[in-house]
Chain A
């Protein structure tokens, strides 16, 4: 290589200037660009969430009028689902970590990788220009026929979501080929870190499900522009077909969000327990079990949409099967911690938060998967609470665990552990204070997406709003200490956590080409020496 100073040259400093970033094909830099863009969108989506919660602090009009409220919860949902939670782990953390875990110099198609970033950016810009036009008020699900008729700038938001889909598809394609073709010598399939397995399964789901959403949104755009009538009952079309198509994507999308988070937890727990993972094969298989079941349960979103009773029965039964592979994973993680030398640090705090929150999310899913209770709970706050436990508790907690875990690798510096623990605790408590009352509200019959509610729901709504402020505060704290750590945190060593997978064998931050010499793998990713046996 050109430089003799090992350790001095890294991916952050080997080239300087904005142009070197905008035209980079280095997966690590692209990962960083994704990270900061997605987190910026997280801020925007979060502000909308807080505004929605503030409006619901009291009965009657509180801070905004009804139509604005409809737009705010739609932006919150659309931004969080399509622009934050789906790309967060694969595009930001996955892009950075995955090729290094494989011992590769880059992803298989680096220029395509950069292109996906710009596709993402264009999708975000197209969707968000509507903030300055007529807005959008359909909810993130774009249900027909309302989404055909509403006079807001819905077309552009749908177009934005359509474009964002391709960004995900191409990232997935890149990951699949990279995992197949770019593994280092000795990195056999049974030595792959579980995050790689999770990324692999996620990518498959993403490749197979997203195109269906794409064609659905494409048809919806034409429905709005030229009245093709496919989803429009007035013209002989079928609005329920839209729901089928939409959930054929959007249920698997839940696993596009959750599987990578599970992958992160499978890395964080063994490393910070310094113990080999319990049930490596079981977790890898369960990952694919979940990916498979993901495709055959979408009808559980439509129990009250006029599905046949037989379909309801079958979808209900199949949905219950999700619990099996998920349970296998949860028990394996707990088994890994058992008798381990557990460190209580931020990655571990968030991993435990994941276990706690995601398990509640999963268990409340059973109420929704059961047709009889579902009829009562459909479109209530119970559903809102459930999917926030799954999506926020799953993906966001997983992301925070992974972000802290790989932070030293990404920036070559350590964050402040006690600040991280305080913020993490605030986020965890705030999360439960926000969303647990919503289970009760929903069970009592408070409908979701309504601007107003009955006076008896006010107390729990106030608790929920206070909780949302705690989450907000927790993330503001996180942003402060993380930015501080990036600038002036103490230097991190190559392997601060004593991890065994390949990313810990290179310098922190890594060399532009990841490794000075081609690494050769001789052991599994979790070969820790067992303590006390």
Chain B
């Protein structure tokens, strides 16, 4: 592997393509580490407010659509799988498959957003809105708006990561269709794969925390 990798031209401040690859990968892990801390703020806020208002969280959580949430969980796990396949195909020189798997990942991400859109518009419709805009009458606790603030901020920031990821996938598809990736160079695909699994993982935490309070 190392011999093949060194055949590719690398940036001149690295000793070899392999050296550049491991450095880039370390950079990506560090980026994900700061992402963890970015989301941590939201999770801590969630934890504190939930500890202070257990009943309100319980009641408000019932208003979320578990089926839609579960569907989206499955969709994202599938997209993580297709992304892993995309990386594998790039590593094994199956360029056409790489492109194909990237497109499938993109489509799954779109499905996720469509489902999210229906969820959001339903919440808007029945007044389950953040903070001061909360108008729903089914929930009686006056603080219920807080739960939906957290719901919209957490799923919103996560959704933003999905959208940014989709833009990167488009860029990867473009490069892949030009045969730029193969066993000697697949850094962007692999690094993006790490990011995509991370975004998936965040959802795996969001789903039970928001939808499955019991």
Could you list which residues of chain A lie within 8 angstroms of chain B, going by C-beta atoms? 104-106, 108-110, 112, 169, 173-174, 176-177, 180-182, 207-212, 214-216, 218-219, 222, 226-230, 232, 235-238, 241, 245, 513
Contact = CB atoms under 8 A, between A and B. Distances in A.
Contacts of A210: 34
Interface of B: 11-14, 19, 22-24, 26-27, 30-31, 33-42, 44-45, 48-49, 53, 130-133, 142-143, 145-146, 149-150, 152-153, 157
B13 A106 contact: yes
B33 A207 contact: yes
A223 to B, nearest CB: 8
**Residue in B14, B34, B53, B152 whose Cβ sees the most chain A Cβ within 10 Å:** B34
B174 to A, nearest CB: 19
A241 B45 contact: yes
Contacts, number: 117
Nearest to B38: A211
Contacts of B40: 211-212, 215
Given A180-B23, A236-B142, 12 more contacts: A105-B12, A108-B23, A109-B24, A177-B23, A227-B130, A228-B130, A230-B49, A230-B150, A235-B132, A235-B145, A236-B53, A237-B131
Given A177-B27, A181-B19, A212 B41 contact: yes
A192 B162 CA distance: 40
A241 B143 contact: no
B48 A238 contact: yes
B130 A229 contact: yes
Contacts of A112: 27
Contacts of A110: 11, 13
B69 to A, nearest CB: 21
Contact of A228 (B30, B33, B38, B153): B153
B34 A219 contact: no
B41 to A, nearest CB: 3
A211 B49 CA distance: 21
**Residue in B22, B27, B42, B130 whose Cβ sees the most chain A Cβ within 10 Å:** B27
Nearest to A112: B27
A176 B45 CA distance: 29
Q: From DSSP, what is the main secondary structure of chain A's interface residues?
A: helix
Given A230-B146, A236-B146, A104 B38 contact: no
A5 B7 CA distance: 32
A238 B47 CA distance: 13
Given A181-B22, A181-B23, A230 B45 contact: yes
A190 to B, nearest CB: 21
Contact of A236 (B27, B45, B143, B153): B143
17 contacts: A105-B12, A106-B13, A108-B27, A109-B27, A181-B23, A211-B37, A216-B41, A219-B41, A226-B131, A228-B131, A230-B153, A232-B131, A235-B146, A236-B146, A238-B48, A241-B45, A513-B12
A104 B12 CA distance: 10
A169 to B, nearest CB: 5
B27 A173 contact: yes
Given A173-B31, A177-B27, A230-B150, A215 B133 contact: no
Q: Lowest 8 CB-CB distances: which A-B pairs, in order?
A: A229-B131, A215-B41, A227-B132, A236-B143, A105-B13, A228-B149, A211-B37, A211-B38
Contacts of B150: 230
A48 to B, nearest CB: 30
Contacts of A109: 24, 27
Given A106-B13, A227-B130, A214 B27 contact: no
A212 B36 CA distance: 10
A237 to B, nearest CB: 6
A47 to B, nearest CB: 34
Nearest to B13: A105
A227 B41 contact: no
B45 A222 contact: no
Contacts of A216: 41
Contacts of A211: 34-38, 40-41
A227 B131 contact: yes
Contacts of B22: 181
Given A108-B23, A229-B146, A208 B38 contact: no
